[in-house]
Structure 1
Amino acid sequence: MERLIINIPETKSSLVKQILKELGVVIQPEKKANTSDFREKLANVSVWSDDDLKVFEESKMAFENLKAQQW
């Protein structure tokens, strides 16, 4: 099945939907974004302190200080 998004003038919307339904097209209603869901998800995002990030910085410095072995 192919998904098609079209912009229809408001005055012709019901006519076009009726024709498409008669042709067997499934019209899905627009999904409205629920802002409270987004806020709830954002509230559950963890916050890292400077001490938490220090481990990454130390690892980065240790990696940069590695030298290739001479054969």
Structure 2
Amino acid sequence: MISEFELLANKVDSLAELAHALRIENAELRRNSAQLLAENVDMHQRMSQAHERVAALLEKMPAEDSSDKENA
């Protein structure tokens, strides 16, 4: 009977250790997720800025004449 209680106590201890490890892992995953979300927002902003710069450069480029296309 005592061995059954010891076995049960060991299982409860193992379960408690596993729950603790999972809490730590979950907290780490939440931190990583928040960091990746912040990086994603930053990259999106940088891509938008690059798009705006390219669009501005394209607007400054002179338009091709139809005669320029024929000579090329």
TM-score relative to the length of structure 1: 0.32
Computing the radius of gyration over CA atoms, which structure comes out larger, 1 or 2? Answer: 2
TM-score (norm 2): 0.32
Higher relative contact order (CA 8 A, sep 6+): 1
